[in-house]
Amino acid sequence: MGIIFLLIRELKDWIEYIIRDIPGGIGNFTRGHYYKLRLRESSENNRFEAGIRIEFPRNVFLKSNSYFGINCKIYACDLSKVKIGSNASINSNVMINARGKGSIIIGNNVLIGPNVVLRSNNHTFKSSKIPIISQGMTKGEIVVGNDVWIGSNAVILPNCNIGDGAIIGAGAVVTSDIEPYTVVGGIPARFIKKRELEL
């Protein structure tokens, strides 16, 4: 049974390796249909550019009409999940990483610029006598509301809740909750201004 499981996994890895880099419209079509079958939930009209990598797709939930740029990575595992709403635009080289214990939940109409990292948990480092790599991971969650714009090269750290309509400036490092309709930037991300709400 172990050999059969290893062969099936090896075959799956080869299939995904081939599908990952098929160019052009045929590639987008093939990846869209493949991941509609592989993800826990995947609705219509999602577009995956070349280089997409999705780990543990059984715990990835995706609504409709979203775009994933070149070399995006989505990581879940048996103890974690990733949920992405409708009409998201996720640019090239974005990493959405919920490996370990925890989750990442992204709302509807979210813009994520290139090279953004969302990481829902972190390494434990309490002991100076044990190598950090051997101390395991903390549990965490990231929640991104609706109509959020995350600028390029931003980093969203564990246990952050980004409110609806917030804007995260390019290169910002988010270490705490962000209020709705707030613009933040810097390291760590700090308040810049409130967005004006139309009546």
Catalytic center residues: 123
What angle, 0 to 180 degrees and rounded to 10, lies between the N-to-C axes of helices 2-20 and 24-38?
Answer: 150
CB 94 within 8 A of CB 88: no
Task: State the CB neighbour count (10 A cutoff) for residue 104.
Answer: 27
The helix/strand/coil state of 168 is: strand
Residue in 103, 99, 115, 191 with CA at minimum distance from that of residue 155: 115
Residue in 110, 111, 118, 182 with CA at minimum distance from that of residue 155: 118
